[in-house]
Amino acid sequence: MGKTLAEKILSKNSGTDARAGDIVIAEVDLVFAQDTTGPLTVRVFHESGLKRLAKPQKTVLFIDHAVPSPSAALSDDHLLLRHFAKEYGVVISDVGEGVCHQIVIESMAKPGDVIVGADSHTVTSGGIGAFATGMGSSDVAVVMGLGKTWFRVPESIKVEVTGAFQKGVSGKDLILHLVGMLGADGATYKSLEFSGNTVPSMSISQRFTIANMAVECGAKVGLFPADNVARDYLIAQGRPNDYQPIFPDVDAEYEQTIKINAAGLEPTLSKPHTVDNTALVRELTGTKVQQVYIGTCTNGRLEDLAVAASILKGKKCHPGVRLIVAPASRRIMLEALGTNYVQTLIEAGTVLLPPGCGPCLGLHQGVLGKGEVCVSTSNRNFKGRMGNPEAFVYLASPATAAATALTGEITDPREVL
Amino acid sequence: MLRGRAFKFGDSISTDHIIPGRYAHLRSNLPELAKHVLEDADPTFVSRVKPGDFIVAGNNFGLGSSREHAPLVIKMAGVKAILAKSVARIFFRNAINLGLPILICDTDKINDGDELEVDLEGGKVKDLTSGQTLTSGKIPEVMLRILEMGGLIPYIQKYGDFRL
């Protein structure tokens, strides 16, 4: 019997014939934490009695959630991480470089890697065929010391996507639709594995968006095959030698198969206060919005900024809306400057933020007021998520977000394209 | 054998309900952080919870972030175990790593305020108020060993490595 992507990667890294349901100890190729989980990770590491790091150059601390720091306490957390990095020879990605998951896909993740991060959206690297999953500070501290951890080999759900997206519909709409269909715990402990004739023509950026949100239906990983699109992406990042093809076996065994017709998808969003509370954008048109946020590890890539710029080119945001845009990394910000997307967005009324995570989790920058409504391209809309339990967050694609910024109310992007 | 009172919560209590991102600046000041435990789900919880109590929740408790501070502040509040119909993956692992037991059982049968007696080894929950006994599902052996040691750090301090 053949293997799923999850079984293949965990077999390779554990040196066993890993099958769904097995408990294995697997080598971890890359481990990281960020500035809201890293300080606890460092403290736990010191407490554990582990003296050395297994792979200092494959251990990364990201300062991306509170950047530039909004408070003395968070600045002290940043100092703790910088000090640890220096003492142990760990790689540090400091203020302004970008969101951890974006830096990982640009510069570090390889197809077939096992990656563990102290951040739930570590799953993003599944877009390039890496078994990447989030864990807490204790697990990550132990991985830093031992270079390995235990995994339960997940059962896999095959998501077969066929057909072409309509204009104005993207990978974000697909994953919101899937989370709505499965529910927030519909894939708990499972591997979501994407296939079907839509995949070869799906951009790497959209694959990352989809993989990023696999955790929103509980999944341990969201995996794409590492095909020519993945190869071309790695070449474009200057890492051609990091490519190796990985595909599931044709006779792999899946727990279930879900079929999605991409052509039948419409612009979709998640209503407050859960990600699986999905609806079609056209069912909510007219809802007044005070803030639109385009960015994050979900949708802060060049392709996302290009879509927003194409909708807002030569136009102005609605006067009742604050449009906040944060490219996911310095590299993306530079590319967006080079292509004039930044110019276009600022001319339309955008407030440009440095690469970082702040608004998404309500840490700083763009915190909502009482009763305010935000349409965000991020991945979570739990009560209180954007800093105020009395505010309302709708999750949507960059196209829906930009169309909404233009009109001041939730708008189907097909109306403005 | 643990004995305490049930604090009932509904479905989908996320890590943002348990400890919101707006308190990120308190994550290195745990006693202050712990004052906000479950604030966005029940603002009265922190003043009412007593050492030895149990959190009794519905489906998918702890969904969302990987922040280990979520189970940590629950443990700091004196909660001795979490009972739920289901628990999100990362939260489950984090709680066990902190030595905070999780029992998966049909929590619909437990009412808010019920007195419970929990037998961790036998996986049994006795509701002393209603007289019913519930059975909890099994957790992987490796997690049981970590829990027995009081968490992942004591486990690693003792063994220095994973033992399957």
Question: Domain map of chain A by residue range?
Answer: 5-261, 268-415
Query: Residue A407: which pLDDT band, with cuts at 50, 70 and 90?
Result: very high
Topology at the third CATH level for domain A5-261: Aconitase; domain 3 (3.30.499)
Question: From the list A138, A146, A382, which residue is nearest B68 (CB)?
Answer: A138
Beta-sheet strands, E only, within chain B: 2-8, 54-57, 81-84, 102-104, 115-119, 124-127, 133-135
Q: Has residue A400 got a pLDDT over 90?
A: yes
Neighboring chain A residues of B153 at a CB cutoff of 8 Å? 44, 47-48, 138
Count: domains in chain B: 1
Its domain, for residue B136, covers 2-159
CATH number reported for the structural domain that contains residue B151 in this entry: 3.20.19.10
Residue from A28, A124, A138, A152 to probe the interface with B (highest B Cβ count within 10 Å): A138
Q: How far apart are CA A92 and CA A191, in angstroms?
A: 30
Q: Which amino acid is at A217?
A: C
Mean per-residue pLDDT, A126-149: 98
Report yes or no on B114 lying in a domain: yes
Q: Which residues from B are below 8 Å from A when comparing CB atoms?
A: 12, 14, 16-17, 20-22, 24-29, 40, 59-60, 63-69, 71-72, 86, 88-90, 93-94, 97-98, 140-142, 151-153, 156-157, 160-162, 164
- Provide ipTM, 2 decimals: 0.97
Mean per-residue pLDDT, A279-303: 98
- 8 Å CB contact of B88 and A185: yes
Question: Which superfamily is assigned to A268-415 in CATH?
Answer: Aconitase, domain 3 (3.30.499.10)
- Please answer whether residues A351 and A324 qualify as being in contact, where contact means their C-beta atoms are separated by less than 8 angstroms: yes
Question: From the list B22, B28, B153, which residue is nearest A138 (CB)?
Answer: B153
Question: Residue A296, class by beta-carbon neighbours within 10 Å (0-12 exposed, 13-18 middle, 19+ buried)?
Answer: buried
User: Beta partners for A392?
Assistant: A373
R_g over Cα of chain A: 20
Measured CA to CA in angstroms, residue A46 lies from A39, A40, A88, A344, B28 at distances of: 11, 10, 12, 48, 15
Query: B81-84 and B133-135: which strand pairing?
Result: unpaired
CB atoms within 10 A of CB A238: 10
Q: How far apart are CA B69 and CA B160, in angstroms?
A: 24
Report yes or no on B164 lying in a domain: no
Q: What is the pLDDT along chain B (164 residues), one digit of tens a residue?
A: 899 999 999 999 999 999 999 999 999 999 999 999 999 999 999 999 999 999 999 999 999 999 999 999 999 999 999 999 999 999 999 999 999 999 999 999 999 999 999 998 889 999 999 999 999 988 889 999 999 999 999 999 999 999 87
Q: How far apart are CA A284 and CA A272, in angstroms?
A: 12
- 8 Å CB contact of A142 and B20: no
Say whether A268-415 and A5-261 share the same fold. yes
Strand ordering across the sheet containing B102-104: B102-104, B81-84, B54-57, B2-8, B115-119, B124-127, B133-135
Chain B residue with the nearest C-alpha to that of A186: B60
Q: What pLDDT, on a 0 to 100 scale, did the predictor assign at position A406?
A: 98
Q: How far apart are CA A17 and CA A3, in angstroms?
A: 10
Q: For Cα atoms A141, A143, A146, give the angle at the middle one, nearest 5 degrees.
A: 110
Say if pTM beats, i.e. exceeds, 0.90: yes
Rounded to a whole number of angstroms, the distance from the CA of B128 to the nearest CA of chain A is 31
Neighboring chain A residues of B89 at a CB cutoff of 8 Å? 188-189, 218, 220
